[in-house]
A and B are shown apart, each in its own frame.
Chain A
């Protein structure tokens, strides 16, 4: 096989090749960011008291994750090595601020309930981890899939925990139900 054909096959490698599909599916189980890699658990514990919050939080993380991964991947050959973490942080922080502003404008009540946790997406280890470990070394296409995979891996745990919490606590043990509007656990990453 000449180098030319190898290049041609590489070029033709579809966005949904087996390798790329694994980028989507692995974070859902084998390398789930929360349950296996134990990243981002603070927000996972804090946000799961209400299903609606968990949904909005998951969507926010999905947006930041995709945006961050794709932008970093596009810039990967331009980012100076010495300041790459700062650049990643600036990109993630900007995306988070945008999410926060949009929530304040369109979902003020949920924005109030999520309060600091939207801002703390910046310190969510899943996001910085994927930027550093994947997007910096891969093309935008795979990075995009990797972002969706990891964000969904985060999302389904969040949703599963909040659904279980809702049925178990709210319906089986109503005595355990506290006023969730006033509940906000200690903050950290």
Chain B
């Protein structure tokens, strides 16, 4: 062969060509599959939201059942003011639809660091996030027996990575109707147990302590619980604390909305 394939120049050229070819191939694959993946992610989101109000759905019927139970989708801002709302069918491609608000992305890009700095101080957190223009989605659902429910997505950090979930509140805005949690990389058998029903069942019927220091507490394993707290997962302390943190931080935003709305109704 005329070219010395072990020369430095050839090695560099080969690497550059390889990166270009591989990069193009992967970019093409990602782009051509993106629509399907987004549709799958939207289905998954609907299944999770329905799970929080105790309705089972699978990928084949998620959007139909979602349309049946979720009557209104509302976006609110950090101060609890309503920004927009819609009752039209979900269009995952419509970026202005509250359904499309990517709370995980917001959490990664700004809320996470701000929440860490504020360390539970809600006023400090509000000040830090005031200029971010964040919106928070709220899903109003009606059950089979005509009960109004509000589903709130929450995102936070566990021990190893992100954790997230959905909390469904009854229309007194303080009673928890149901909860659903999931995680990316928590420890199996310990923190990963937050997704199991034995843990989420504990939230049903509990209340948010609107007057107290903390809205809701996930206590360290074995501690006595009252109507404003649940028992955390033994051996999963940091994940349990993460659930506690994300619930308190996020629900405070929605509480501002509920309080202003209930005042308006009276």
Contacts and interface: CB of A to CB of B under 8 A. Distances in A.
Interface of A: 77-83, 86-87, 90-91, 94, 97-98, 101-102, 104-106, 108-109, 179, 182-185
A185 B187 CA distance: 10
Contact of B10 (A80, A87, A106): A80
Contacts of B11: 80, 82-83
Interface of B: 1, 5-6, 10-11, 14-15, 18-19, 22, 25-26, 29-30, 33, 36-37, 40, 43-44, 59, 188, 192-193, 195-196
Contacts of B19: 90
Given A90-B18, A183-B188, A108 B5 contact: no
Nearest to B19: A90
Contact of A80 (B14, B30, B37): B14
Contacts of A91: 22
A101 B30 contact: yes
A108 B29 contact: no
A94 B26 contact: yes
Contacts of A105: 33, 36-37, 40
Nearest to A99: B29
A81 B4 CA distance: 11
A101 B18 contact: no
Given A81-B6, A83-B15, A101-B29, A185 B36 contact: no
Given A94-B26, A97-B26, A102 B33 contact: yes
A94 B11 CA distance: 20
A87 B33 contact: no
19 contacts: A78-B5, A79-B5, A80-B5, A80-B10, A80-B14, A81-B5, A87-B18, A90-B18, A90-B22, A91-B22, A94-B25, A98-B26, A98-B29, A101-B33, A102-B29, A104-B33, A108-B37, A184-B192, A185-B188
Contacts of A86: 15
B1 A77 contact: yes
B144 to A, nearest CB: 26
A51 B193 CA distance: 24
Contacts of A182: 188, 192-193, 195-196
Contacts of B29: 97-98, 101-102
Contact of A106 (B5, B30, B36, B188): B36
Nearest to A80: B11
